[in-house]
Every structure is written in C-alpha cells, then in structure tokens.
Amino acid sequence: MDYYCLRCKKIVELTTNYQGIRCPYCGYRALKKERPEVVVKKVKAE
C-alpha cells in the first residue's frame, strides 16, 4: 500500500520495517493512503 505525504504530496512507500509513519522527504508525519485506482471497465459484450 502506498501512501502520499499531505505536505509535499510525494508518494511514500511504506515497508514492514518502517518505523512509524513519516515522510522521508520532508519529515511530515501525516501520510494518507493513496486512493486506489478504481478502474471500472464497462465493456459491452454484445
């Protein structure tokens, strides 16, 4: 699961070894889960 920093808007990949949720770029401690790309393909099977 990828997160993005609410401050610098950079994508932060959190690993299992990651200690605490913090942006490695700016040090901001508010990361938000990246919105999953909802790919809705409506294919008309006609």
What mask of x and - would describe binding to Zn ion in positions 3 to 22, judged by CB under 5 A?
A: --x-xx--------------
- Tokens representing 14? 């959190």
- Tokens representing 20? 């605490």
Stretch of 13-21, 23-31, 36-44 contacting Zn ion, by CB under 5 A: 23-31
For the CB of residue 38, give the shortest distance to Zn ion in the complex, in Å: 25
- Residues 21/27, Cβ–Cβ less than 8 Å: no
Residue ranges that bind Zn ion, judged by CB under 5 A? 5, 7-8, 23, 25-26, 28
